Amino acid sequence: MGTDSVEKYWYNLATGIVEYGRLSPSFDRAGPFDTAEEAANALEVLRANSAKWDEEDRAD
């Protein structure tokens, strides 16, 4: 993984805190996101993606 992902925002799933750069272990991180605001909404994005994928799986 290049340095591009280091210079992004991540959502820490364990703490609920937005981090700049890959500070936490990978299993605790969601991202990368371009802005801190996007990272703060990570759980909503993950839920929406999961619902979309579930719907696609049911359609197949």
**Per residue in 43-52, pLDDT tens?**
999 899 999 9
CB 15 within 8 A of CB 25: no
Structure tokens at 49: 């993606």
The pLDDT of residue 10 = 97
The number of C-alpha atoms within 13 Å of 4 and in the hemisphere containing its C-beta is 4
Which own/partner pairs from 10-14 qualify as long-range (CB within 8 Å, at least 24 positions apart)?
10/39, 11/39, 11/40, 11/42, 11/43
**Per residue in 6-36, pLDDT tens?**
799 999 999 999 999 999 999 999 999 999 9
In what order do the strands lie in the sheet containing 29-33?
18-20, 9-12, 29-33
pLDDT: which is higher, 43 or 2: 43
